[in-house]
Amino acid sequence: MTYDLHNIPTFGVAGNFTGHLEQAGEAKDFENVRTAEANAPKALFPTYIPLAPGMTIDDQSVPMFLHDFPFDDEKIIFPAGEQKLQIEPECALICDVKWKAGRVVGLTPIAFGASNDCSIRKEGAKKISLKKNWGRASKGFSSHTIEIDRFDKEGILNRYRIASFLVREGEAFAYGEDSAVRDYSYIYNKLTTWIIDRLNQQKDEGPAENVNAYLTKCTFPERILVSIGATRYTDYGEHNFLQNGDKAVVVLYPEDKYSAEEIMQRVKENRLNEEDISSLVQLVEV
């Protein structure tokens, strides 16, 4: 099934794979953020907040750039004036939201898909979102999503892995470590409980933002998209940034049907269109 994201607020989870923030040079941004556990995610950050009826683009209660629709499932447009751009390979969840008295009281993941929460690597950005949405074609979400039967270890997601590749001059390089979705630091009920808490309680401090205020402004939406964290990079991915003409590829695949080697071969052959694979292939344009 394909979802139209234009009216769906979207978010990302920072620090849900141990080691990713260190590789991305962002660990120090969160050194003053207190978490319940050492391996807990650090923050829930916004990437897109749609304009609600009656809301104007100059309403300063939500940063203006967050209203720019950033998703494209075919390309990434390189941000002007920047040099370091990296794929952020993730599993993303389409979630139904239940509200009561201005607070989120329920969150039900209904589908998942491959996500590239593409990021600018630069020092000095005060908020995570400033490195995430630079306008049109800033990030990607697969047009092919897969229905979630149940969001626990007995469900479909427990079979899936996240793989990512950079294709440059016809050669495919593993970009992120091939990782099981079940190996996120927070997953299933622990993850949804944490997201609900952040949607309700997160404050505008340090690199984090008051996302509840944003959702209130867009009239308590019944659905959101959450990219639940980027995998660790391979050595190649950590040290090679995107260039004009590259292809950024993110693949979610069931490990009981495909091997990592077969997925690599399918990437090389551009042969990823299977019902049980959610893939995202984006051409980088300057």
User: For residue range 170-198, what is the model confidence (pLDDT) as tens digits?
Assistant: 999 999 999 999 999 999 999 999 999 99
User: For residue range 246-259, what is the model confidence (pLDDT) as tens digits?
Assistant: 999 999 999 999 99
Distance CA(200)–CA(101), nearest Å, equals: 11
Contact 207/30 with Cβ under 8 angstroms? Answer: yes
Kindly indicate the confidence band of residue 28, based on its pLDDT and cuts at 50, 70 and 90. Answer: low
| Cβ-based neighbour number of residue 112 at 10 Å | 24
Kindly indicate the confidence band of residue 203, based on its pLDDT and cuts at 50, 70 and 90. Answer: very high
Burial 47-58 (b: 16+ CB within 10 A, else e): bbbbbbeebeee
Mean pLDDT within 113-133: 90
What is the predicted pLDDT for the residue at 122?
81
Residue 27 has pLDDT above 60, yes or no: no
| Cβ-based neighbour number of residue 106 at 10 Å | 12
Q: Helix or strand or coil: residue 68?
A: coil
| Cβ-based neighbour number of residue 172 at 10 Å | 17
Mean pLDDT within 131-142: 96
Residue 35 has pLDDT above 70, yes or no: no
Domains defined for the chain, CATH in brackets = 5-285 (3.90.850.10)
Looking at mean pLDDT, say which of 38-42, 128-132, 233-237 comes out highest. Answer: 233-237
Distance CA(95)–CA(13), nearest Å, equals: 14
What is the predicted pLDDT for the residue at 123?
74
229 conformational bin, left if phi > 0, alpha if psi -120 to 50, beta if neither:
left
Mean pLDDT within 83-94: 96
What is the predicted pLDDT for the residue at 53?
73
Tokens 């659905």 found at: 223
**Across all residues in the chain, what is the average pLDDT?**
92
128 conformational bin, left if phi > 0, alpha if psi -120 to 50, beta if neither:
alpha
Distance CA(265)–CA(105), nearest Å, equals: 44
Q: Helix or strand or coil: residue 239?
A: helix
Mean pLDDT within 114-140: 91
Distance CA(280)–CA(2), nearest Å, equals: 13
Distance CA(193)–CA(197), nearest Å, equals: 6
DSSP class of 37: S
Residue 36 has pLDDT above 80, yes or no: no
DSSP class of 27: G
Residue 196: both structure tokens together: 């609900």
Compute, in degrees rounded to 10, the torsion defined by CA atoms 81, 87, 93, 99.
Answer: -30
